[in-house]
């Protein structure tokens, strides 16, 4: 006989708090942006025309699809999206290749040292991102730290042009987002049972083979979590490409800024944001699906 599940009193109110939060600060702003993306630009305050109008006992709903059509017709936007995805993809890859050995080393370090190493990884994030990116400008500029050192030791005769190129964007993005790769990977790797590796070696696998056939597959969820935490925000990243990138750097965050503040074209900017959201929802859903599957396996 199945007992009816006991519902503690006040359950509704407890759950309603996060839902209210999500409604107020996520769904409502999203609805507003969605609404603006379907309106027409105008020289007014706010700079767009209303969608709903009640004139002479008639409710006029004017859904303007022009913004989206405009986005698809101008190649600039498509290349900005692709540019963002490309930079996000390769940054994620670089973060993974740098972050995995770091996370692995921390997870295998003596217990009392792990906390210190983790703090070292996290510490940079305690400073505002803007300040850290400015510091990188100082390092990478033509007469900056890096070029001075390289010229000082005679490795190069004239300064390397790094600042205001995509290379600088990659450096900045990888630098800023590496902790978000390392932490979930560490959380995963630290739980690994070392005897599994010993068992693999005992059964004839060398160290490298054991690593690839045991450690890597078992850290899959960590890899996915870390990659999502890097990929998703990098697609919409604005500060780093704006400060470190150059004319060749075409990212959607920058374009969005320009549409919004320079052109004061709120509807197009909103449409850009909605499309970006749709692009990002795909990996988000994948991530969620992956997590749900993991939870299911554990129960």
Partner 1 sequence: MKQAMAKAEPNDFVKIERISKRFDEALAVDDVSLSINRGEIFALLGGSGSGKSTLLRILAGFERPSEGRVLLDGQDITDLPPYERPINMMFQSYALFPHMTVEQNIAFGLKQDRLPKAEIDARVKEMLKLVHMTEYARRKPDQLSGGQRQRVALARSLAKRPKVLLLDEPMGALDKKLRTQMQLELVEIIERVGVTCIMVTHDQEEAMTMAQRIAIMHQGWIAQVGTPMDIYESPVSRHVAEFIGSVNIFEGEITADMEDHAIIQCDCLDKPIYVGHGITTRAQDKNIIYALRPEKVWVSAEKPEGEHNSSHGVVHDIAYLGGHSVYYIKLDSGKLVQAFFANSERRLPRPTWDDEVYISWDDDSGVILHS
Please choose, out of 118-126, 149-157, 199-207, 259-267, the segment that lies near partner 1 by the rule CB under 8 A: 199-207
Residue 198 engages partner 1 in binding (rule: CB under 8 A): yes
How far, CA to CA in Å, does 96 sit from each of 99, 173, 235, 240, 298? 5, 13, 16, 19, 26
Q: How far apart are CA 159 and CA 162, in angstroms?
A: 9
Residue of 10, 154, 206, 247 that binds partner 1 (CB under 8 A): 206
In the complex, minimum distance from the CB of residue 294 to partner 1, in angstroms, rounded to a whole number: 12
Determine the Cα–Cα distance for residues 225 and 291; give it in Å rounded to an integer: 9
Q: How many residues does the chain have?
A: 299
225 binds partner 1, rule: CB under 8 A: no
Using alpha carbons only, give the angle 268, 166, 281 rounded to the nearest 5 degrees: 45
Kindly determine how many residues on this chain lie close enough to bind partner 1 according to the rule CB under 8 A: 18
> Judged by CB under 8 A, which stretch of 55-63, 109-117, 207-215, 224-232 contacts partner 1?
207-215
Separation of alpha carbons 98 and 91, rounded Å: 10
Contact call for residue 204 and partner 1 (CB under 8 A): yes
Q: Which stretch binds partner 1 (CB under 8 A): 40-48, 135-143, 156-164, 190-198?
A: 190-198
Nearest approach in angstroms of CB 298 to partner 1 is 9
Q: Does the footprint of partner 1 cover residue 201 (CB under 8 A)? A: yes
Tokens of residue 42, six digits:
């105008």
- 165 contact partners, CB below 8 Å, separation of at least 6: 245, 246, 248, 249
Q: Which stretch binds partner 1 (CB under 8 A): 47-55, 94-102, 131-139, 209-217?
A: 209-217
For 260, which DSSP code?
I
Q: Which residues bind partner 1 (CB under 8 A)?
A: 193, 195-196, 198-206, 209, 213-214, 217-218, 297
């Amino acid at each position: 006989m199945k007992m009816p599940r006991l519902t503690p009193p006040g359950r509704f109110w407890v759950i309603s708090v996060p839902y209210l939060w999500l409604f107020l600060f996520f769904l409502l702003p999203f609805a507003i942006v969605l609404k603006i993306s379907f309106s027409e630009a105008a020289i007014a305050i706010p700079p767009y025309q209303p969608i709903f109008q009640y004139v002479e006992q008639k409710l006029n709903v004017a859904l303007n699809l022009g913004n989206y059509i405009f986005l698809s017709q101008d190649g600039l936007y498509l290349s900005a999206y692709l540019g963002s995805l490309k930079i996000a993809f390769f940054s994620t890859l670089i973060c993974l290749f740098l972050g995995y050995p770091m996370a692995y080393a921390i997870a295998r370090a003596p217990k009392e040292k792990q906390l210190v190493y983790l703090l070292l990884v996290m510490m940079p994030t305690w400073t505002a991102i803007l300040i850290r990116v400015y510091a990188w400008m100082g390092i990478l500029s033509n007469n900056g730290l890096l070029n001075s050192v390289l010229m000082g030791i005679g490795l190069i005769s004239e300064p390397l042009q790094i600042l205001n190129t995509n290379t600088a964007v990659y450096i900045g993005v990888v630098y800023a987002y590496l902790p978000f790769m390392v932490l979930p990977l560490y959380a995963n790797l630290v739980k690994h049972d070392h005897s599994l590796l010993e068992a693999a070696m005992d059964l004839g696998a060398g160290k490298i083979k054991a690593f690839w056939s045991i450690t890597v597959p078992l850290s899959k969820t960590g890899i996915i979590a870390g990659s999502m935490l890097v990929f998703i925000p990098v697609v919409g990243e604005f500060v780093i490409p704006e400060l470190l990138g150059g004319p060749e750097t075409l990212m959607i965050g920058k374009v969005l800024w320009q549409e919004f503040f320079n052109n004061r074209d709120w509807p197009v900017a909103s449409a850009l944001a909605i499309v970006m959201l749709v692009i990002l929802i795909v990996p988000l859903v994948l991530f969620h699906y992956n997590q749900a599957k993991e939870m299911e396996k554990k129960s």
